Amino acid sequence: MPEPVKNQPVAGWGRYPVHECREYRPEKRRSIGDILGERAQPNYIARGLGRSYGDTAINEGGGVISCLRLDRMLGFDEATGVLHCEAGVSFSTIIDVFLPRGYFIPVTPGTKLISIGGAIANDVHGKNHHRDGSFGHSLIEFELQLPSGEIINCSREQNAEIFWATVGGIGLTGIILTAKFRLRKVPSGFVTVDYLKTKDLDGVLSAIHESDATYQYSMAWVDCLASGRSLGRSVLMRGNHVGPGGLPAAKRSDPFNMGGRFSPTLPFDFPQFALNPLSIRAFNVVFYALSPGGQGVITDCDRYFFPLDSIHHWNRMYGKRGFVQYQVTVPTAEVQAIVEILQAVAKSGKASFLAVLKKFGQGNEGLLSHPIEGFTLTLDFAVNDRLAPFLRELDKTVLKHNGRLYLAKDAVMTPETFRAMYPRWEEYKALRQRIDPDNLLSSSLSRRVGLTP
Ligand SMILES: Cc1cc2nc3c(=O)[nH]c(=O)nc-3n(C[C@H](O)[C@H](O)[C@H](O)COP(=O)(O)OP(=O)(O)OC[C@H]3O[C@@H](n4cnc5c(N)ncnc54)[C@H](O)[C@@H]3O)c2cc1C
């Protein structure tokens, strides 16, 4: 029986909130059953690499089961690109091992420092949702340890109901032990990127619409402090994988070698005064002015997909109190919500360094999976005493436009808001009551939004 490491404060990537949890670090899959069976803690939640921003992988006063030592690759079929591995394997490891062999992960978020378990439980999306859907799309099956201790296989054919409750199901249906999913064959470790600066929101939205058919990847950085006629001015970055023939001569003979890269560490927490409307405005103006406007810029996958990973602990930038990432998605017809949110943010001066806009294609059958067809806007806000009331006001705008917030990022949503945004919550709760009648699985988030008592 693995002993818990210790009671310790645990947080998500936003470093807010921080809760005291008892952390377990099992090395073998069979130890998970022992931990759940012993019931030494009132409840448990699985944790991957802790890259969710809020409180979905923390559990105040309960157990947190870190799955990171379950990091074995179990099989790879070269013919189909299907990888079988344990849930603690990271995207970073998969890319290190398989990109040199010509395979990439078909859906990656803006960081590769996430685990397979985390990717399934949040049904993560990338810059290609409009073309390829979310991670659940490439997922074939997984092995799930239920709270009862039973281990079941879940796929679209077998235990399909539990499969779709687990894809995006924020870790509350069981502990994912292993998974099988498809990797994508790519012609090199590089992407050709076209940059486009747009003067306002209409400009970026119409450019996104037009790009859908021709670019696999697309996302826009939005200057969220621009207002008036410049509201929503952006730099749109659209890309496609590129074959060796499209690479500079020096790279053609070794097209999967991205080369080494210097990765600095943010050494300390920024003081609160460093983040003020003036410094953020200056950052946004400079970012917009210096962004390349070029076409066909060859960029390696690391730089294109995971730009922030190169600065270790960049989350310290928001100071000791941490930050909240507010990701809102609204249906295509409700794009006016994006205008209203950008106006409210510009007026408040509470802007974030990075604001990102993407288009989503159709969602999937995941009961709590986040993506719905439409636009998604992501903003960071430093935590201070005035933040919660401000976000509650933004929530009203999101609700008015039939939108929803992403649970992987959330730290403040109320139960009423959650129920209004995720209409299939009742189905999800009913299924959970069947497979976890004692609420052995629970997290700080699930209690906050009323999914578990
Ligand atoms: C810089 C940055 C950029 C990001 N960009 C994006 C983006 O573009 N798109 C996007 O979708 N997300 C994005 N994210 C969020 C991130 O991709 C997700 O939160 C992801 O789920 C984190 O995975 P993790 O391994 O860190 O999981 P954790 O954060 O540790 O846990 C996430 C959830 O998974 C559950 N879980 C973990 N392991 C298991 C398991 N074995 N069994 C059952 N449940 C489990 C946890 O209980 C929790 O509910 C970004 C995060 C960062 C820091």
Name the residue of 52, 323, 377 whose CB sits within 8 Å of the most ligand 1 atoms, as the mutation to test its pocket. Answer: 52
Work out the mean pLDDT of the chain and round it to a whole number.
93
pLDDT of residue 3: 57
Task: Report how far residue 238's alpha carbon sits from residue 220's, in angstroms, rounded to the nearest whole number.
Answer: 8
Average pLDDT rounded to a whole number, residues 342-347: 90
- Is the backbone peptide bond immediately before 9 cis, with ω within 30 degrees of 0? no
Residue-wise pLDDT for 67-79, tens only, equals: 999 999 999 999 9
Q: Looking at ligand 1, which residue's alpha carbon is closest to its atom 44?
A: 171
The yes-or-no verdict on residue 351 having pLDDT over 90 is no
Name the residue of 112, 122, 356, 449 whose CB sits within 8 Å of the most ligand 1 atoms, as the mutation to test its pocket. Answer: 122
The yes-or-no verdict on residue 392 having pLDDT over 60 is yes
Positions of E strands within 29-174 = 44-47, 63-66, 73-77, 82-86, 103-104, 139-145, 151-155
The yes-or-no verdict on residue 261 having pLDDT over 70 is no
Q: How far is the CA of 199 from the centre of ligand 1 (A)?
A: 33
Q: Specify the ligand 1 atom closest to the Cα of 49.
A: 26
Q: Using alpha carbons, select from 62, 57, 16 the residue that is nearest to residue 41.
A: 62
Q: How far is the CA of 168 from the centre of ligand 1 (A)?
A: 10
Average pLDDT rounded to a whole number, residues 119-145: 98
Q: What is the CA radius of gyration of the chain?
A: 21
pLDDT of residue 438: 97
Q: Specify the ligand 1 atom closest to the Cα of 12.
A: 29
SS3 255: coil
* 64 CB near ligand 1 (under 6 Å): no
- pTM (2 d.p.): 0.96
How would residue 316 be classed by pLDDT, with cut points 50, 70 and 90? confident
Q: Specify the ligand 1 atom closest to the Cα of 13.
A: 53
pLDDT of residue 271: 61
Name the residue of 10, 19, 92, 115 whose CB sits within 8 Å of the most ligand 1 atoms, as the mutation to test its pocket. Answer: 115
How would residue 310 be classed by pLDDT, with cut points 50, 70 and 90? confident
pLDDT of residue 312: 82
The yes-or-no verdict on residue 1 having pLDDT over 60 is no
% residues pLDDT > 90 (the chain): 82
Angle at the Cα of 5 from the Cα atoms of 4 and 7, rounded to 5 degrees: 85
The yes-or-no verdict on residue 149 having pLDDT over 80 is yes
Q: How far is the CA of 169 from the centre of ligand 1 (A)?
A: 11
The yes-or-no verdict on residue 146 having pLDDT over 60 is yes
How would residue 273 be classed by pLDDT, with cut points 50, 70 and 90? low
Q: How far is the CA of 196 from the centre of ligand 1 (A)?
A: 30
pLDDT of residue 290: 67
**Minimum mean pLDDT among 18-22, 229-233, 441-445: which range?**
229-233
**Minimum mean pLDDT among 236-245, 309-318, 392-401, 442-451: which range?**
309-318
How would residue 296 be classed by pLDDT, with cut points 50, 70 and 90? very high
Q: Specify the ligand 1 atom closest to the Cα of 175.
A: 42
* 111 CB near ligand 1 (under 6 Å): yes
Alpha-carbon distances of 66 from 29, 57, 89, 188, 313, rounded to whole Å:
12, 9, 12, 34, 20
pLDDT of residue 270: 61
DSSP 8-state assignment for residue 265: B
* 110 CB near ligand 1 (under 6 Å): yes
How would residue 4 be classed by pLDDT, with cut points 50, 70 and 90? low
* 48 CB near ligand 1 (under 6 Å): yes
Q: Looking at ligand 1, which residue's alpha carbon is closest to its atom 3?
A: 110
Listing DSSP states for 138-149 in one string gives HEEEEEEE-TTS
Question: Which class would CATH give 190-413?
Answer: alpha beta
pLDDT of residue 262: 61
